Structure 1
């Protein structure tokens, strides 16, 4: 990579870390601390957990296409401002409905598509896969930091402290984009023609990848509805001590993920690595089963987080290799739409199912989702996922 590409990648990867950190920090604590909000129920807290995903899903494609027309940076600045406003709303409320409203407004700052498209604009074809892998890995970094910092910050000032911090991180993100990320040398295309977008929607490779990120974030958000309670009840960890478990688990999973990702791309075995990671996600559902206790819960969570981080890095890198250049913003918008729609579905379903049947029912639902995911990928087995370096 040349100096411009390195500078752009450093800025955009940092932006992803700061923004996703703000979204992820509530995952390990909301279902515990949210119980103190007026009107809270397990179903409403699950909705609050995934609510940002609904507005993200509705706006990713429109804002991704808008970035093809207006330019990436104006859309990114607008999205960060809206995200900061939603954080302030959530920080000031004491009711579960205000919490849901703040989360929806946070999600309306839907910049993932524009950010990924800007990264693609600022890197050459031969380096684009590396750039997307770094950005995907930065989401893993954000997740590692979030599950450690979330319980720590909430222990100091509750959920409000987390939301005030996320508002500050949004402002830091604006500064990064302004000062560190260069402008593309060429103007972005004036947006995809209708026929181009229709062709994108007919690509089996694209649908395999975007369906993967939908199921991945559905599982993640659904698991974090019962998981904090499980750590309190089964492992006897106080809510402000959960970071002591998440920290080593997530750090170990991230360190192991990096050589696996490099080996898969170097040996052109990315599809096989994704299938193996899909199998690893099964352990997340197993961890929630009532029969699993003690160190077995820790082991299952470790395998799940490793598989999650691996898929989070590989999926976006593969997408940018198959998406036509003239509608890359729309393609990344479709990817982000399904990603956040999965988060909304996971939080909403997880809250309802947990309220009705406890952690065991959520475990059964998670395993059912994984079976459905496997069937969906099997049905698309005739489509080729392009290999790194081709």
Structure 2
């Protein structure tokens, strides 16, 4: 292997850090998602349960996640990554145990809120940044991101199966065990960082909060992820009831619908993502995917008594959902200033969890008053409003984030170095942070002059 190839490859330690952190993240998300396709089917087991309170219980974790995710990330800068992540996993395990022994809806709501209070996403991303070099950080984040998507797909299939084997309380006990296993992975497999510092590409920076919140393009994307997870969570307040009560499908067989639909949808999304990224039709594909959610929700409302109709509508839904889950983070990366990606992603993630809270809460209220059809029509309306907001979005610049280590420089040298980077063909924006010794760049990958970029990086002064 050449020296250049060795430099371009992740080290064994970096790969171990990325994979083990992805394992922690995915096990936690698996535990949260597994109850989604089965929870409302157990309302008769919880004293005092109503459709509205069941929906609130589904979404309660999102409320505490949205409130605490950024504070947990900032706390990890002061107290250390691993202690904060461990405490978050313990809170998640405690909430899971409380949920497992709950026999009334109010205790269940408290348990779900406690589960969500272990908001460790930002701390995990910060630890991943501590353990990877700048040139490999995007790969590490991609590995973690893929694990989240995979855990969602696995959870939809595994939820009904484990519910049949273990019951709802058994799923929560399993979730608690996975959280404790996550602590073991954290201390046994995740390397200890040599130094922890703020990484502007991976975690929120308080000084950037106002500028990010004033960015209307980023706010459109925050509104988008809020709407997407509102629609997802509200749909699953009603969908399990449709499968069981209107189609007569036993809970243990619900995966018969979810598994083929998910597999076909993942395959069908690929051409659309290629069109968005490679053919540079991001806005057209994005708005089109939002509109497919409208069609899917209308299909669920109209064809809820037909197994084929529900399956087709779910397929359309998951094609749109998967495309949007893939393109929204890409759009954040393209539109955020080069040194504000971490802050932009922090508010984006908080918006996602807020959407889950609103979706569960509003979905439960609508289910109690208007039935399953009312929930699906509400989701169609949310998607239609989102399409109108998305249509006003600017065409994104097809730029990628790039980090370059430049070593120790003073403030004046950092300013001059940023100007030098922008003279390199393919570099659209550059910010050099002197105290970090890192250049945050936005580059056009097709036009970038790698040799010139490397030359500037190797001679920063």
Aligned to 1:161: 170
Aligned to 2:428: none
Q: Distance in 1 between matches of 2:78 and 2:395?
A: 31
Q: State the shift of 1:355 in Å.
A: 0.7
Larger C-alpha radius of gyration, 1 or 2? 2
Aligned to 2:427: none
Q: Distance in 2 between matches of 1:76 and 1:9?
A: 15
Aligned to 2:115: 106
- Between 297-306 and 214-223, the greater mean CA deviation after superposition: 297-306
1:179/1:256 CA distance change after superposition, 3 Å? farther
Q: Distance in 2 between matches of 1:260 and 1:243?
A: 26
Q: State the shift of 1:176 in Å.
A: 2.4
Q: Please list, as runs of the form range in 1=range in 2, the aligned pairs for 1:164-175 lying within 5 A after superposition.
A: 164-175=173-184
Could you report, residue by residue, the CA deviation over 1:4-25 in whole angstroms, capped at 9, with x for unpaired residues?
A: 4432321222222211110001
Tell whether 2:315 aligns with 1:302: yes
Aligned to 2:72: 63
Could you report, residue by residue, the CA deviation over 1:342-380 in whole angstroms, capped at 9, with x for unpaired residues?
A: 00000000000011011111122111101221222234x
Aligned to 2:385: 372
- Between 134-143 and 250-259, the greater mean CA deviation after superposition: 250-259
Stretches of structure 1 that go unaligned for 5 or more consecutive residues are none
- Between 195-204 and 233-242, the greater mean CA deviation after superposition: 195-204
SS at structure 1 position matched to 2:247: coil
1:24/1:228 CA distance change after superposition, 3 Å? same
Q: Distance in 2 between matches of 1:142 and 1:84?
A: 18
Q: Distance in 2 between matches of 1:318 and 1:188?
A: 26
Aligned to 2:421: none
Aligned to 1:198: 210
Q: State the shift of 1:162 in Å.
A: 0.7
Tell whether 2:120 aligns with 1:116: no
Stretches of structure 2 that go unaligned for 5 or more consecutive residues are 1-8, 401-442, 445-461
Aligned to 2:145: 136
8 Å contact 2:204–2:344 — kept in the other structure?
no
Q: State the shift of 1:40 in Å.
A: 0.8
8 Å contact 2:73–2:204 — kept in the other structure?
no
1:213/1:115 CA distance change after superposition, 3 Å? farther
Tell whether 2:246 aligns with 1:237: no
Please identify which structure carries the higher helix content.
Answer: 1
Question: Which of 232, 237, 247 is the equivalent residue of 1:225?
Answer: 237
Could you report, residue by residue, the CA deviation over 1:57-102 in whole angstroms, capped at 9, with x for unpaired residues?
A: 1111211222344343332221111000000000011111111111
TM-score (norm 1): 0.90
Aligned to 2:258: 246
8 Å contact 2:21–2:190 — kept in the other structure?
yes
8 Å contact 1:206–1:322 — kept in the other structure?
yes
Tell whether 2:332 aligns with 1:319: yes
8 Å contact 1:51–1:103 — kept in the other structure?
yes
* Structure having greater relative contact order (Cα 8 Å, sep ≥ 6): 1
Aligned length: 389
SS at structure 1 position matched to 2:170: helix
- Between 18-27 and 264-273, the greater mean CA deviation after superposition: 264-273
Could you report, residue by residue, the CA deviation over 1:116-164 in whole angstroms, capped at 9, with x for unpaired residues?
A: 3433454455554444444333222111111111111111232100100
1:215/1:128 CA distance change after superposition, 3 Å? farther
Could you report, residue by residue, the CA deviation over 1:287-323 in whole angstroms, capped at 9, with x for unpaired residues?
A: 4214452312101101211222232233234435555
Please identify which structure carries the higher strand content.
Answer: 2
Q: Please list, as runs of the form range in 1=range in 2, the aligned pairs for 1:353-364 lying within 5 A after superposition.
A: 353-364=366-377
1:340/1:143 CA distance change after superposition, 3 Å? same
